Amino acid sequence: VTNTNNTKERIQEWIQKQAEAFVEKWAESGTSEHPSLDVVKRLKEAADNISEESASSCDALEALCSILVDPDSNVSAFEFMHCNLPEKLRRYLSADSPNCSTPLNARLRKFLHVFMGLPEYASSLVAWSPKQHAGLGPLLQKLHICINQLEQFTVRVHDLPGRRESQALKFFNTHQIKCNLERHPTAVNTRAWKGGSVRIDPLATIQAIERYLVVRGYGKQEQVRESGGEGRTDDVEMSEDSEVEDSVQFGLHSLGADRHYLEFFIGDHSLPYNMTIFQAIKQFAVVNSEAEEESVPLGRPDIWIRSHTIYYRLAQSTASSDSPGPSGASQFSISLPTTPVGGMGGGLGVVGGGGGGGAPLLPIPIERRTWSAGAGAGASAGGGVMAPRNLPSKKRVPIASRSSSMSSSASSSSSSSSRPKRATARLTNQDSPSTPSPVATTTTIMTSFPLQATPTALIAPPLATPTSAPLHLYATPTTQPPSDSFGLASSREKGKVVSLLSPLHSGIKMSQTSRLAPEDPSLPVIRLMKVLYTLNSHWTDLYEGIGGSPIAPVGDFINSKLNAKATRQLQDPLNVMTGNFPQWLKELSKNCPFLFTFECRQMLFYLTTFDRDRAISRLHEQQPDLSSGDASQTVTPRLDKKKRCVSRENLLDQAEKIMNELASSRSLLEFHFEDEVGTGLGPTLEFYALVSRESQRTNLGLWRGDPCPLPGTPQGAGTPQYTNSPVGLFPVPLGPSAKFNLVEEVCSKFRFLGKFVAKSIMDSRILDLPLSKALCKWMLGQEDSFTAQDLQHVDPVMARSFAQLAAIAVKKRALESDPLLSGKALAIGIESLTLEGGGSVEDLDLDFTLPGCPDVELKPEGRDIPVTIHNLDEYLKLLVEWTLVRGVGRQMAAFKDGFNTVFPITSLQYFYPSEMDQLLCGANHQKWDIRELMDCCRPDHGYSHDSRAVQLLFQVLSDYTIDEQRNFIQFVTGSPRLPVGGFRALNPPLTIVRKGVDSSQSPDAFLPSVMTCVNYLKLPNYSSVEVMREKLHMALQEGRHSFHLS
């Protein structure tokens, strides 16, 4: 250490001498400064004046902008950081305290005016053009340079000399480490392991071993002592661990809880829960020199030959809290309800034992209905008592399938949220890959209630109290006290309006409080980037009644260096198998997704959300070379497949039963149709596409939109109608007076849709379900950021009408705030306000019901209350609330409830609402280019790129309309949508082969056929482009919904 300190001191002295010599040689004589310092001086002066409390900040912003846009200034990243500009700009754009001399909105508008050319007031917005100003672009470029020079995020990769990565994966996949589990000498009240040695997957984590012991009863203090001092051996221990060497195959996401029950040691070394067994043994049980670490990356032979001892004992929190209650029972107990919970097939509940706590839980019996009856708002809701169903005797599902939002009186239920989330008898790869944790907000539908409590979960939320408060164009947040099951309580309490944050201010506030990767020099710059991204996305919040898209392209915020680092990290096979990704990667991707491309975040999502085999499968798709070569030297995913045969009749009923049975399973689902020969990927994709389409039937009454038949189907009285909306699907609102049976029927269908969507994501299946951006906000937990601008993503016609009424409301408030008007003059001015086309608000003959849904009253007796200029503000406020939040809260709570039974919906936070369509439905439809088709399609078996038939095919495909493209893609792949990336991302690629025809027959007499599992198109060598177009059209119409062609 002394030598190191002396070396640093000598280096510092040398640098100081070199700097003094440089200044002495190159500095100009006299008192004048060098011209190159002029830019730095101007930059420093501007930085010193940028403050939320400075009156000269406006001039400083203009000076900074002029320096950045000047190509001759050439400000370096060092100079930019030396002036502390990122931190000062961030404070200027985010500080919102009473001590600030200039309000935050005024500062934000000033920044927009200087760097984006926006006017300081909305009245001048019509003359603004974003192309006239380029201050934001140079600022972002400078910030990217600062991040590139400052960031020190580590990348963990494994370069294995002399051994291909695929061979290394095979080695880890076929070898196990022998371990002896022993009770720690200091553990007095912990049961001793008597199951003998266990063979453990080397890439299993310490947390997986903890779960292995916890589910066998080792996660609590021993309650019964025998005379010999040893703990009693329970039946569950001996019955499941009778063999001396028990092979344990652990999944990546085994425990899934923040609380831990056991802690583990090798010698005196405490083992981190996220460390793999291989890492722990290599680091603490075997002594290696640095040279051995580099030359033997797979470890010394001792790791794989010897038996290694791992000690365990109760974690401190468990040892202090697991004392027995008055009844002698431990706090951790399992109760099996006699009726299903939440409409599932069964469930396990963790309840408080011993000393009591909350009242016992009474699951509400649910009556199941078929999809053919029509469940929408227009369906009749019959009365009657709903009979409970019997619980399957051996069915076990994750606890999270139950409601995580219990009544506040059930205190014992809420206290169990930190306990293990799955209590199955044995831990294998067949378990659910990730146990959803209880949802933090109260938007999950409640299906269990305390005895003697009113089951209000399916009853409409309370209505708002009339008030004359100013218009707030923001919807009510849904996070409410526990007593409100859906988070739908009124935004007004005791007649007062709750102060709400706009998406702009909410995003700016979160950018200051969100947790990022610690101890990195680039974080001040990244936080400023997040503020700028929020301002760029939600600048319209500062100009009331104005809509618009982001000013700077989203791609300008992507940092190429961080994106490259993340991509490299995700390409390392050993990290994928261990799930051992650095902390900064997940934190930055969730808190600052704009720094990474969609493809990078999508890859990170699939590699970290599900089990190891799915991660390996995804990696093989991205890196085909890992699966090339000798099959014995490659790792193949061991995904269990469950196949189901379905009929094309009553497909929704069958899909609901299958999802209720298998959605939470780790197995990969495959489908084939009755009396059809096709199996594999093609029929499976068609199943998901058909269920997506059938769930849009108008008679179900689930979605807003206009009824229309499928393209190409004849019009008629019996023609099925499907909901069509140009902005995507959004639920039909349910009114406060909707009957209980109707609400439960609709919610059960949305619960199924949640499972269906989650399972499609889990299995990488493409849906044909165009969800609106507003619904995607609900999925991402952003329902508290709804504004009036979101109406355009629900009903464009309503949004245009709303804008006209909002303009009148703005004029009314302007008159009310004018100090020169009062009394009679103010009343005359308000009464004279008219709509854009003439006429007053009263002439519209509106009442306090939701437009298009007369049964949904916005307030008590709303249909009898006319809308006037005086209560217009209240009407517009309630219109936004009921359209976006309160009217659909129960449906979306059920959707999330179903989704969480597959995997936690919070895992989707890597994405933005505008990206969810790509994640769920693949690539958007675009015109196909001949050059792209030539690059992405592969002619084979009789055809080449020079073949006349192939060139004619590309010509025909390039002329296709969107509907024809959908038909062709469904004919070839089974799904009407291509994956993200279009033809280039299709795996396997579209292969065009020549269809064999006898020499005595004409190719023009044959239709093309396909093999959907491998994306094979068998194309005859047609004589002309007209014949090819005709035959393709016939094949698409006749064969796209069957698997009989060969």
Alpha helix stretches (DSSP H) within 882-929: 889-900, 916-921
600 is catalytic: no
Q: How far is CA 57 from the centre of its chain?
A: 39
Using CA atoms, how far residue 527 sits from 134, 520, 705, in Å, is 22, 12, 40
Q: Which of 733, 731, 736, 743 is nearest to 859 (CA)?
A: 736
Task: Give the contacts of 319 (CB within 8 A, at least 6 positions apart).
Answer: 189, 221
Q: One-letter amino acid identity for 745? A: E
3-state class percentages of the chain: helix first, strand second, coil last, to nearest 5: 45, 10, 45
Give the count of beta carbons closer than 10 Å to the beta carbon of residue 581.
Answer: 21
Q: How far is CA 834 from the centre of its chain?
A: 44
Q: Measured between alpha carbons, how far is 647 from 675 in angstroms, rounded to an integer?
A: 9
Task: Give the contacts of 249 (CB within 8 A, at least 6 positions apart).
Answer: 201, 428, 429
Q: Measured between alpha carbons, how far is 388 from 118 in angstroms, rounded to an integer?
A: 61
Partners of 992 in beta bridges? 939, 1017
Q: Radius of gyration (Cα) for the chain, nearest Å?
A: 32
Q: Measured between alpha carbons, how far is 751 from 743 in angstroms, rounded to an integer?
A: 12
Dihedral in degrees, nearest 10, Cα atoms 667, 765, 564, 146: -110
**Tokens for 878?**
């309630």
Q: Measured between alpha carbons, how far is 848 from 866 in angstroms, rounded to an integer?
A: 7
Q: Which of 71, 74, 116, 109 is nearest to 93 (CA)?
A: 109
Using CA atoms, how far residue 41 sits from 2, 53, 54, 984, in Å, is 40, 22, 19, 51
- Annotated catalytic residue within 100, 708, 853, 1013: 1013
Q: Would the CA dihedral through 346, 351, 356, 361 be positive or negative?
A: negative
Q: Measured between alpha carbons, how far is 380 from 701 in angstroms, rounded to an integer?
A: 12
841 touches 869 (CB < 8 A): yes
Dihedral in degrees, nearest 10, Cα atoms 208, 214, 219, 224: -150
Q: Measured between alpha carbons, how far is 118 from 946 in angstroms, rounded to an integer?
A: 54
Residue 241, SS3 per DSSP: coil
Task: Give the contacts of 296 (CB within 8 A, at least 6 positions apart).
Answer: 288
Q: For residue 14, what is the enclosing H or E element?
A: helix 2-26
DSSP calls for 222-239: ---B-TTSPBP--HHHHH
Task: Give the contacts of 622 (CB within 8 A, at least 6 positions apart).
Answer: 571, 603
Q: How far is CA 341 from the centre of its chain?
A: 26
Q: Measured between alpha carbons, how far is 754 from 695 in angstroms, rounded to an integer?
A: 12
Burial-class residue 608 by CB neighbours within 10 Å (0-12, 13-18, 19+): buried
The set of catalytic residues is 1013
